[in-house]
Amino acid sequence: MGKVAIDQLREGMVSDQTIFNDQGLILVASGVTFTNFIIRQLRNFDIETVSVKDEQELVQESSANTSAPSKPLAAIRNITDGIFDCQAIAIKKNITAIEEILASALDRPCVQDFMTACSSDEPLFRHSLRTAILSTNIGLIKRYSIDNLEKLAICTLLHDCGMEKKFNETDLDHPFLGFDKLRKNLDIDMLVALVCLQHHEHYDGSGYPFSFSRTQITEFSSLVAVVDYYDRLLIKDVEPRKAMFQTIEKKGKFFDPGMIDVFGSTIDWSRIYTLPPSIS
């Protein structure tokens, strides 16, 4: 199809170019399906035209790829509603954007493989989706670019891929096992593998598997570490209010202070003392 004016760009069209902003940061990678959220963001960056793939190209590519698994897509809205209702996370205004970003991430074959494999284990399946929703919400608040938001979603969805098909709270080997698996896949960004490796590392160096600390830990790893810790408390039946406080009190110890501040900004403190003791 070639060049299309931004006002004629429609949801469902596919980018045939990598789109950068004035500072050289990637806004949209080639091959990304445009959503209404992405189109609005491009308008905000004053992008006037984009190159999109024609229908013949899309038919050829779709015949080679599987579609995103239906179970995680169907579960996203239910989980986001549960996060807002039972955890008082201020997430509702970002739900549409979160759903679009996760749908794009779930369209990646590497993500599909893991989500299909872990779908038989409900704790691992829902933990992967809940943490991805929470991290994407934080990424939106931090105003990450569209490309980085999708990378963050992929990082979070795959952060426990070293567990294979069963969630195991005591499995200390899964960060390295997941890293080793992901780094061998040339279709996966090394950043994703690093998040898998580092999401149990602590700001003060007390984590595992390599006792990394402070700037040795990537920003995405620091972010995923916070939401992973918080959600693991919920899995252990810690009520959401206590889980929030227990996560925040690790500021400067387990977690980067700035990342905890952003996590705290997602909490609806006016509702925090009326939370029920369960999660959805």
Per-residue pLDDT tens, the chain, 280 aa: give them.
588 898 989 888 888 888 877 766 678 877 788 888 888 888 888 888 999 888 665 455 544 444 556 678 778 878 887 887 777 888 888 988 999 899 889 888 889 889 888 888 999 999 999 999 999 999 999 999 989 999 999 999 999 999 977 898 889 999 999 999 999 988 899 999 999 999 999 999 999 999 999 999 999 999 999 999 999 999 999 988 899 999 999 999 999 999 999 999 999 888 776 655 554 4
Residue 55 CB burial class (10 angstroms; 0-12, 13-18, ≥19): exposed
For the whole model, what pTM was predicted?
Answer: 0.80
Q: What is the pLDDT of residue 280?
A: 40
Instruction: Please confirm whether the linkage preceding 257 is cis (ω < 30° from 0).
Output: no
Class of 70-274 per CATH?
Answer: mainly alpha
Domain with CATH 3.90.105.10 in the chain: 2-64
Class of 2-64 per CATH?
Answer: alpha beta
Distances (CA, A) of 255 to 86, 106, 161, 175, 209: 24, 28, 22, 17, 16
Q: What is the pLDDT of residue 18?
A: 82
Token pair listed for 122: 């409900």
Q: What is the pLDDT of residue 136?
A: 97
For CA atoms 132, 39, 27, 46, give the dihedral sign: negative
Domain with CATH 1.10.3210.10 in the chain: 70-274
Token pair listed for 83: 């996060």
